[in-house]
Amino acid sequence: MIVLDYSDPRPIYEQIVDKLQTYILKGILKPDEQLMSVRALAMDLAINPNTVQKAYTELERQGFIYVVKGRGAYVRGGDDSLLAVRRRELAERIAAIVQEAENLHIDKETLYREVEDIRLEQKIEQNALGEALKHD
C-alpha cells in the first residue's frame, strides 16, 4: 500500500519510486511479481496515470523492474545488485553528511550520538505505529 505525503516537497512520482524501491529491497514485493497496472495504481492513489508511468519508467531505468510489452511491469530479481546500488548511494549520502559535519566542526562522538538518537526515535515511532495498527 502506497501512501502519498502531500507535505513532502518531493514530486509524487519520486515518492512512488521510493516506496516501491523499499518494498522490493525489503522483499515485500518478490522477484517476478507483477506490479499493479499504471491505470489501476493511478486510480488507487487518485493521481494522473502519467505520474505512475513516470515512476515505473524511473524504476525500470534504475533496474528495479522490467516491463513486458502488453503484459505489465514486474519486479526484477535474482541478484543482489539492487541492494548494492542502494548501499552505494547510502554511502555517498553518509560521506556528504560526514563532510558537512566536519565543516561545522562537529566531532565524531557528537555525530554518533545524533545518529543513535535518531535511530532510537525511529524505533519508538515504528513501535507506536505497530501498536496503533494492531488496535485498528
6 DSSP β-pair partners:
none
CB of 73 closer than 8 Å to CB of 65: yes
DSSP label at residue 47: S
Indicate the SS3 state at residue 72: strand
Please give the average per-residue pLDDT across 77-90, as a whole number. Answer: 74
83 closest CA partner among 107, 108, 64:
64
Please give the average per-residue pLDDT across 69-91, as a whole number. Answer: 82
Does residue 26 fall inside a structural domain? Answer: yes
Q: What is the C-alpha to C-alpha distance for residues 21 and 24, in angstroms, rounded to an integer?
A: 5
pLDDT band, residue 88 (cuts 50/70/90)? confident
pLDDT at site 132: 64
The CATH number of residue 24's host domain is 1.10.10.10
Does residue 104 fall inside a structural domain? Answer: yes
49 and 20, same structural domain? yes
Residue range(s) defining the domain that contains residue 109: 81-135
What is the value of pTM for the model shown?
0.65
